Structure 1
Amino acid sequence: MTSLLSTMMSHGFKSSKQDFTFGPWKVTAAKNHIMKSKDIERADSEHSKEVLRPFDWTYTTDYRGTLIGEGRQIKVTETAERIDIEKLKAREHIMFFDEVLLFEDELHDHGVSQISVKIRVMPTSFFLLMRFFLRVDGVLIRINDTRLYHEAGKDFLLREFSTRESKISELKGVPAGLHTDPNEVAQHLSLKLTQCEKLELPAEVIP
């Protein structure tokens, strides 16, 4: 597999980039400045001219990643199989770790909207978490998580997507200080949706 993760925000700025290769996998984590709105308006890109109105001012997204395989097909099916969280809790040497903030906006000082990706690679597996976090002060908190897990020797990856959301009025027993911490407040939010998928790998890339 040429690339498992390529997280790029390259708009002509100088980027910092990390590559890590293990077995048939290659992880690329790249970081750069976010383009300013005035630069986007002058950019020569057909996508920059496609403005949808009305638009979601909270920038909520259920994006779960893009599968790219250079002609190799990854079969995606729904599954009842779950990521083994207990295995992830086990102490194991971390060979590679990085976190990339894809975007962040303070919603005109009314909260925050952000999406980030974390990946860690162990000798027997790798795990990726892409998290969208939205807090609209006095209104609601929403978290969309995409988890991707692969265990060495298996011919598939597991991808879990979940949406958690609660109104601020429903979080009366939760200290306000936790509202700004996605890791802490997530466990207090109502689970709205869970979808689990198996991503079956082409035979030529199975470790």
Structure 2
Amino acid sequence: MESAPTAGKATPKKAVHQQFQFGPWTMSTCKSHILESEGPQKEKFDKEMQLPQLPEMVFAENFLRVQHESGCGLEFNALDALRLVDAHSDPVKVAASKEWQGARSDCEHIKNVVSPFDWTYTTDYKGTIVQEKTGTLTVSPTLDRIDVEKLKKREPIHFYEDVLLFEDELSDNGTSMLNVKVRVMPSCFFLLMRFFVRVDQVFIRVNDTRIYHEAGTNYMLREFSSKEEKTVNIPAAVHTDPNEVSKHLKLTCEIFEKLEFPQS
């Protein structure tokens, strides 16, 4: 974790921006430094967040945006993701066994009774809708599903990026992380935003948001899923691997949506 800059210390590195054009779509990403402990960005987060404390590493300037030429699209950023974290109750404290709480008596989060909040930073964020110019994105439930077999076909990847939004080690009692990836092929683009949290000796949870668009169509498919399981029921060898551990979790929620945009 980076500390706040002081006199004599180097200033944070400049943000790195990337952009890629895919037909009528523009893919934009930004990667920058960790949120500093003071300054305009920190003041903005403190003002707009109700959380007693933020994750150890918040990448306030990082984002991934997919925007159609009509002006509508989706953006993924840390501020909007953290807005959806429960700032008023601590569901983990209820779920954790007395034995675990006793063994972790030095955990600042478990002891937090004055301002309880979801210190795992669990969020069901599915992206922020962007609407500029005259473009309007229509969101509706759908029976359509992302064609996984099409994604398995070998195609050249024209653009790929992995953007980290926030991360926290939960006072050495696990990990909590949110990142979003995008890959663009000749026939489509695919995004995966994953929230992964592991609370040692309690549970592991994975919230996935998948976005798929096939070139030539006037919509994106968005699939959200939430999976969870007690750690005692999961092989220890996969506890730290989000891809592998996901196979051992129970599905608790699924949402399927079609996001339609104006055709050119």
Name the TM-score, length of structure 2 as normaliser. 0.68
CA drift of 1:72 comes to 1.5
Aligned to 2:128: 66
In structure 1, give the amino acid aligned to 2:226.
T
In structure 2, give the amino acid aligned to 1:21.
Q
Structure 1 residues 85 and 42: alpha-carbon distance in aligned structure 2, compared to 1, 3 A threshold: closer
Aligned counterpart for 1:138 among listed residues 198, 201, 204? 201
In 2, distance between residues paired with 1:34 and 1:192? 32
What secondary structure, in the 3-state scheme, does the structure 2 residue paired with 1:104 have? strand
Question: Which shifted more, 13-22 or 134-143?
Answer: 13-22
CA drift of 1:40 comes to 6.1
Structure 1 residues 25 and 168: alpha-carbon distance in aligned structure 2, compared to 1, 3 A threshold: same
In 2, distance between residues paired with 1:94 and 1:83? 18
Quick check: 1:20 aligned with 2:82? no
Tell which structure's C-alpha radius of gyration is larger: 2
In structure 1, give the amino acid aligned to 2:120.
T
In structure 2, give the amino acid aligned to 1:198.
K
Aligned to 2:50: 51
Extract unaligned runs of 5+ from structure 1.
Answer: 1-11
Extract unaligned runs of 5+ from structure 2.
Answer: 1-11, 52-114
In structure 1, give the amino acid aligned to 2:147.
D
In 1, distance between residues paired with 2:50 and 2:251? 31
CA drift of 1:170 comes to 2.2
In 2, distance between residues paired with 1:136 and 1:114? 12
Correspondence 1:58-207 to 2 at 5 A: 58-70=120-132, 71-171=134-234, 174=235, 176-204=236-264
Deviations 1:22-46 (A, max 9, x none): 211110111111213x32699443x
Name the TM-score, length of structure 1 as normaliser. 0.86
CA drift of 1:132 comes to 0.1
In 2, distance between residues paired with 1:43 and 1:99? 24
Aligned to 1:4: none
CA drift of 1:13 comes to 5.7
Q: How many residues align?
A: 188
